[in-house]
């Protein structure tokens, strides 16, 4: 197998966009971008100085690698229509298994960057763990070579372990972000700007860059300060769902601290 050089990017969302930039910077060529949304395809293709298509059947056949980077729920449909065999294809999903690409090519893999991507932010790929899987040692080695050009944290990880990471990522990224959203709603009640919470959020995160979160827990729940927790629940009366969350999470923090000290 030739070294991968020319890549076709299928998708123009957050992951596809950042991956496209990183691969270009790493010395690869994105030779075509596909998205069913013309504006998205065109925008990303322009940014990468390449061509685009909105028609799955107009995807060029000579790519060294096809990267499907679309919503999980759209992968199957695209994989079934894509005619690029015998060339290799990968998806970038944390949850889907390898075999979803069975009909696309006999050479298939997974290229999952464990990160949250927003279009508005430049992402440093070097520190991002990239989880690789493939149905042949040859392709796996190729993907490793490629991933190593954009990240220092490339790992071979099977579907089961990748799914564990993806589930953990929900708790490590999506759920904390929603806690921040609730915190913002609360400070608004006091006519505060979200700014007032930013130093606290920053420090909370910086602490666990060094320590484990279980060692960093503070607040009324870990102290089991019923007085304060009852006051807080009272203050949340207008938000029954947040009240319930407050109760459940506090109970779990307390339960968890008992486990630790048993």
Give the footprint of a copy of itself on residues 137-156 (CB under 8 A): 153
User: Any residues with CB less than 8 A from the CB of 7 and at least 6 apart, and which?
Assistant: 23, 28, 29, 30, 31, 63, 64, 65, 66, 67
CB of 207 to a copy of itself, least distance (A): 6
Residue 256 in contact with a copy of itself, rule: CB under 8 A: yes
In the DSSP assignment, the letter for residue 85 is T
Three-state secondary-structure class, residue 91: strand
Question: What's the rounded Cα separation, in Å, for the pair 57 and 80?
Answer: 12
Indicate the helix (H) or strand (E) that contains 41: helix 38-47
CB of 258 to a copy of itself, least distance (A): 13
Per CB under 8 A, which of residues 167..196 are in contact with a copy of itself?
167-184, 186-187, 189-192, 194, 196
Cross-sheet strand order for the sheet of 129-134: 51-53, 29-34, 6-10, 65-68, 89-91, 108-113, 129-134, 153-156
With CB under 8 A as the contact rule, the residue among 2, 212, 238, 262 that binds a copy of itself is: 212
- The window from 32-40, 61-69, 77-85, 199-207 that contacts a copy of itself (CB under 8 A) reads 199-207
Residue 243 in contact with a copy of itself, rule: CB under 8 A: no
- Count Cβ atoms below 10 Å from residue 40 Cβ, excluding itself: 20
CB of 60 to a copy of itself, least distance (A): 29
Residue 236 in contact with a copy of itself, rule: CB under 8 A: yes
Phi, psi of 15 (to 5 degrees): -65, -50
Contact 250, 229 (CB under 8 A): yes
- The window from 19-27, 30-38, 133-141, 237-245 that contacts a copy of itself (CB under 8 A) reads 237-245
Residue 262 in contact with a copy of itself, rule: CB under 8 A: no
Residue 231 in contact with a copy of itself, rule: CB under 8 A: yes
- The window from 32-40, 61-69, 84-92, 116-124 that contacts a copy of itself (CB under 8 A) reads 116-124
Per CB under 8 A, which of residues 58..97 are in contact with a copy of itself?
71-73, 95
């Amino acid at each position: 197998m030739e070294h991968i050089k020319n890549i076709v990017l299928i998708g123009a969302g957050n992951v596809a966009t950042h991956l496209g930039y990183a691969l270009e910077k790493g010395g690869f060529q994105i030779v075509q971008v596909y998205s069913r949304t013309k504006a998205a395809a065109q925008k990303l293709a322009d940014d990468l100085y390449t061509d685009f298509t909105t028609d799955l059947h107009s995807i060029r056949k000579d790519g060294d690698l096809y990267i499907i980077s679309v919503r999980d729920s759209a992968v199957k449909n695209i994989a079934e229509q894509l005619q690029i065999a015998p060339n290799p294809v990968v998806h970038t999903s944390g949850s889907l298994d390898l075999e979803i690409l069975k009909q696309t090519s006999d050479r298939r893999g997974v290229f999952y960057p464990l990160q949250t991507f927003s279009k508005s932010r430049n992402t440093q790929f070097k520190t991002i763990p990239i989880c690789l899987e493939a149905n042949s040692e040859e392709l796996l080695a190729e993907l490793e070579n490629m991933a190593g050009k954009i990240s220092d944290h490339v790992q071979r990880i099977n579907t089961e372990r990748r799914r564990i990471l993806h589930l953990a990522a929900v708790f490590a990224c999506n759920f904390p972000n929603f806690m921040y959203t609730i915190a913002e709603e609360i400070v608004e009640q006091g006519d505060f700007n979200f700014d007032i919470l930013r130093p606290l959020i920053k420090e909370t995160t910086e602490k666990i860059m060094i320590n484990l979160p279980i060692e960093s827990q503070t607040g009324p729940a870990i102290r089991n300060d019923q007085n304060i927790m009852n006051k807080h629940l009272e203050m949340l009366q207008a938000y029954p769902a947040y009240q319930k969350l407050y109760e459940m999470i506090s109970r779990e923090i307390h339960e968890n601290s008992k486990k630790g000290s048993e």
